[in-house]
Amino acid sequence: MRVANWRAKEVFEAIGDSAVDALRAVMDDVVRSARAKAGAAFKYDWPERADGWQMANVSFTPKTGKNKNKGVSFTAKQWTGRRHGDLVSTIRRVERESRPGNQRVYAGNRKIYWAHMVEKSGYHDRSGQFHPPIPFLRNPFNAKKVSVIQELQDATRKTAERVG
C-alpha cells in the first residue's frame, strides 16, 4: 500500500509543535497553582526592609575538597531587601530555546534565595513561630503530573487528525 502526497515531515512537525504547546500550557497551570498556594500560605509575611546589600560573615566546615574538615571563614555580600510577595513574583516557567520541550518551573533568584527553604525545610515568621514546609511547587506539579500524559495525547491526536 502506498500513500500518495503524504507530507510526513510537515505532519510530524505539527504534532511536535502541538505537544510542546500543550506542555507549555500545563507548566503555566503549575506556575499559576504554585503562585496561588505560595501567596495563600504566607498569612504572616516577613516585615518589609529597604533594598540593599549587607556584608555578612560566613563560616563552615567543608566535608570534601582541599579544605576538608578545616574551618573556612569569609565575608560575603548578602541581599537584605524584602517586600511582600517577593517569593510569589519569582515563580516562573523557563524554557531552553535550544530544547523547546524542556520546560521547568523555578522559584527564587539571587536575591530571593530562601524559596527552597520554604519549600523543603519550613521557616520562622516575624514573631519567631516555626511554620512547617510549604510544598508550593511540588504539590501543584504532582497534581498536574497525573493528567499531563492525557493532555499531551489529546493535543497531538487533534493535530494529527487536522493535518494528516
Helix (DSSP H) and strand (DSSP E) numbers for the chain: 4, 6
Q: Is 104:70 a contact under the CB 8 Å cutoff? A: no
Read off the pLDDT of each residue in 134-152 and give the average, rounded to a whole number. 87
Query: What is the mean pLDDT of the segment spanning 40-48?
Result: 60
Domain of 95, in residue numbers: 8-48+83-163
3-class secondary structure, 153: helix
- State how many domains the chain has: 1
Q: Give the predicted TM-score (pTM) of the model.
A: 0.67
Top pLDDT among 106 and 122 is at: 106
Cα–Cα distance for residue pair 128/130, rounded to 1 Å: 6
Residue 74 lies in a domain: no
Q: Would you say the C-alpha torsion 52, 55, 57, 60 has a positive or negative sign? A: positive
- Note whether residue 89 is domain-resident: yes
The answer as to whether 37 is a domain residue is yes
The band of 98, judged by pLDDT with boundaries at 50, 70 and 90, is: confident
Residue 32 lies in a domain: yes
